[in-house]
């Protein structure tokens, strides 16, 4: 890792003054670059890049190099032309980008940046951090105009953490991933969005995202409820900009958290639970998490068997976890035409146990959207999900219509849920679908 100093040399008059950083004054000097070496240490940097135009080089570069002679690091000039066209500005960026190496620790001074150079480089910092894993440790501005006798060196590095927050918001809106907010709260300046550093909130953001991405369907509702409670508490004392971020999280997940359900192993499988699962599948489809969405929909069909067992009497969590194993048999009954059923051994016993439920659903017309298609919907859904299971090996490639099929399956399962609700035999979910 190199310690790199990068500064800009302007054309203006350089007047001697004293610069101050964290209460420590420099010796009098004309150059802010020299003051920073005094205050940070003459041996601090491995290399010092000075960015200048031909005119500013001619006027000040030799004098600056003379005063920087005590520095351990080599001084190198980056000479820019004065072309301010779009192409010229891009060339400025490329020249600076080319000298920064992977993993550099970077200290930048923008006090005398040439024309639009500070704007260009400020925008490039995030790019350098992403592409070259550069660590920005200081970004100085010498506020000579504030006090010409003792000019403060203002370190603006922490403000550039806004890029971390911007990335976190992107992850939330694009991927339904709230972990970025937790990571930003842990790594950025404590004055930024201070309320979001609340440990309970950051833990809840991380846990909700882990549950969703890893398709822990029975536990995600409880964690979303905890996250919504955290947001409610924090929002009452938050600044306007923090409230905006909290509202974005609320908008992303609240439709899942408002359903007042918990882990069905404890509270039982209800139609409200099945509505929640379809809402979760919809969120996954919306954000392109297709493998997870197909998994939720496949297991949604399997888990319908629990409605049958819930009718037969109360159960504890351990018993429900045993009964859910009948779901695979029930799914196979939906996957194949009745004249092709061929259950044997233990599977035949399970089949006999749940066939009355299948007959009941079929009689009530609830299975109609599933058994009237060719191929059968469960069969087609299984085929698509198995492609993910096996990384599409043995096939020419992944299916081209994953998104369209995902929406088709989701819409059809919604119709099945509507029929269950209208039937009235299995309780009510107060569904809005």
Return the bridge partners of 24, or none. Answer: 21
Of residues 209, 186, 210, the one with CA closest to residue 198: 186
Helical H segments across 324-390, by residue range: 327-335, 346-363, 368-371, 377-389
Token couple for 286: 């919306």
Per-residue confidence (pLDDT) for residue 432, from 0 to 100 = 36
pLDDT in tens, 46-58: 999 999 988 889 9
Per-residue confidence (pLDDT) for residue 167, from 0 to 100 = 82
Distance CA 284, CA 212 (A): 8
With bands split at pLDDT 50, 70 and 90, how would you rate the model's confidence at 429? very low
Q: How much is the average pLDDT of 373-377?
A: 93
- For residue 421, how far is the Cα from the chain centroid? 36
**Does 380 have pLDDT greater than 80?**
yes
Coil, strand or helix at 313? coil
CB-based contact 190:158 (threshold 8 Å): no
Highest mean pLDDT among 155-169, 205-219, 250-264: 205-219
Q: How much is the average pLDDT of 380-396?
A: 92
Per-residue confidence (pLDDT) for residue 401, from 0 to 100 = 94
More confident residue, 162 or 322: 322
Inter-CA distances, 371 with 146, 271, 296, 358, Å: 78, 21, 20, 11
Q: How much is the average pLDDT of 355-382?
A: 95
**Does 30 have pLDDT greater than 70?**
yes
Q: How much is the average pLDDT of 267-290?
A: 93
Token couple for 164: 């971390």
CB-based contact 177:210 (threshold 8 Å): no
Q: What is the mean pLDDT of the chain?
A: 88
Handedness of CA 48, 51, 57, 63 (dihedral sign): negative
pLDDT in tens, 171-180: 887 788 888 8
Say how many C-beta atoms besides its own lie within 10 A of residue 173's C-beta.
13
Highest mean pLDDT among 115-119, 142-146, 200-204, 415-419: 415-419
Highest mean pLDDT among 174-188, 251-265, 364-378: 364-378
**Does 230 have pLDDT greater than 80?**
yes
**Does 26 have pLDDT greater than 60?**
yes
**Does 352 have pLDDT greater than 70?**
yes
pLDDT in tens, 285-321: 999 999 999 999 999 999 999 999 999 888 999 999 9
With bands split at pLDDT 50, 70 and 90, how would you rate the model's confidence at 73? very high
Of residues 168, 101, 95, 93, the one with CA closest to residue 134: 101
Of residues 8, 242, 247, the one with CA closest to residue 114: 8
Return the bridge partners of 48, or none. Answer: 5, 75
Range with lowest mean pLDDT among 195-204, 228-237, 274-283: 195-204
pLDDT in tens, 3-23: 999 999 888 778 889 999 999
Phi, psi of 249 (to 5 degrees): -65, -45
**Does 164 have pLDDT greater than 50?**
yes
More confident residue, 96 or 161: 96
With bands split at pLDDT 50, 70 and 90, how would you rate the model's confidence at 114? low
Which CATH code for domain 3-155? 3.40.50.10640
**287 contacts: CB under 8 Å, gap ≥ 6:** 174, 175, 176
**Does 431 have pLDDT greater than 60?**
no
Say how many C-beta atoms besides its own lie within 10 A of residue 84's C-beta.
13
More confident residue, 35 or 145: 35
Distance CA 207, CA 201 (A): 10
Of residues 314, 327, 168, 307, the one with CA closest to residue 248: 168
Checking DSSP bridges between strand 24-25 and strand 18-21, what pairing results, if any? antiparallel
**Does 97 have pLDDT greater than 60?**
yes
What pTM was computed for the model? 0.75
Of residues 41, 44, 3, 7, the one with CA closest to residue 142: 7
Distance CA 433, CA 431 (A): 6
pLDDT in tens, 191-204: 667 778 888 988 98
More confident residue, 330 or 190: 330
Helical H segments across 28-101, by residue range: 32-40, 54-56, 62-67, 86-99
Residue labelled with tokens 């009098």: 28
Range with lowest mean pLDDT among 173-187, 279-293, 369-383: 173-187
With bands split at pLDDT 50, 70 and 90, how would you rate the model's confidence at 280? very high
Range with lowest mean pLDDT among 72-76, 88-92, 101-105, 151-155: 88-92
Distance CA 102, CA 115 (A): 28
**58 contacts: CB under 8 Å, gap ≥ 6:** none
Coil, strand or helix at 162? helix
């Amino acid at each position: 890792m190199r310690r790199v100093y990068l500064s800009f040399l302007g054309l203006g008059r350089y007047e001697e003054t004293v610069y101050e950083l964290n209460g420590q004054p420099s010796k009098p000097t004309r150059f802010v670059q020299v003051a920073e070496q005094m205050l940070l240490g003459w041996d601090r940097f491995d290399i010092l890049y000075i960015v200048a135009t031909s005119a500013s080089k001619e006027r000040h570069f030799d004098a600056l190099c003379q005063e920087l002679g005590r520095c351990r690091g080599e001084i190198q000039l980056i000479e820019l032309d004065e072309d301010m066209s779009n192409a010229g500005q891009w060339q400025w960026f490329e020249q600076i980008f080319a000298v920064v190496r992977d993993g550099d620790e970077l200290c930048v001074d923008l006090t005398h940046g040439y024309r639009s150079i500070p704007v260009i480089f400020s925008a490039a910092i995030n790019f350098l951090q992403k592409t070259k894993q550069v660590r920005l440790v200081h970004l100085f501005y010498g506020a000579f105009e504030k006090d010409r006798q003792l000019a403060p060196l203002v370190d603006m590095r922490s403000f550039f953490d806004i890029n971390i927050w911007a990335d976190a918001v992107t992850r939330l809106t694009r991927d339904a991933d709230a972990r970025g907010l937790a990571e930003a709260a842990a790594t950025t300046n404590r004055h930024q969005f201070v309320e979001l550093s609340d440990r309970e909130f950051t833990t809840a953001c991380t846990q909700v995202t882990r549950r969703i991405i890893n398709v822990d369907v029975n536990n995600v509702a409880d964690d979303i409820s905890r996250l919504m409670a955290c947001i409610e508490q924090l929002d009452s004392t938050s600044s306007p900009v923090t409230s905006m971020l909290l509202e974005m999280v609320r908008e992303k997940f609240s439709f899942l958290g408002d359903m007042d359900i918990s882990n069905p192993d404890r509270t039982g499988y209800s139609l409200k639970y099945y509505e929640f699962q379809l809402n979760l599948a919809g969120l996954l489809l919306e954000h392109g998490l297709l493998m997870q969405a197909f998994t939720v929909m496949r297991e949604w069909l399997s888990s319908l068997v629990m409605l049958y067992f819930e009718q037969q009497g109360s159960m504890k969590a351990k018993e429900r976890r045993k009964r859910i194993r009948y779901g695979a048999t029930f799914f196979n009954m939906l996957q194949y035409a009745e004249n092709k059923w061929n259950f044997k051994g233990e599977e035949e016993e399970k089949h006999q146990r749940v066939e009355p439920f299948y007959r009941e659903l079929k009689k009530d017309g609830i299975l109609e959207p599933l058994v009237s298609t060719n191929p059968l919907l469960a069969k087609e859904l299984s085929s698509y999900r198995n492609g993910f299971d096996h990384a599409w090996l043995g096939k020419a490639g992944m299916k081209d219509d994953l998104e369209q099929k995902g929406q088709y399956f989701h819409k059809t399962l919604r119709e099945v849920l509507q029929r269950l609700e209208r039937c009235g035999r299995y309780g009510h979910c107060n569904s809005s679908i």
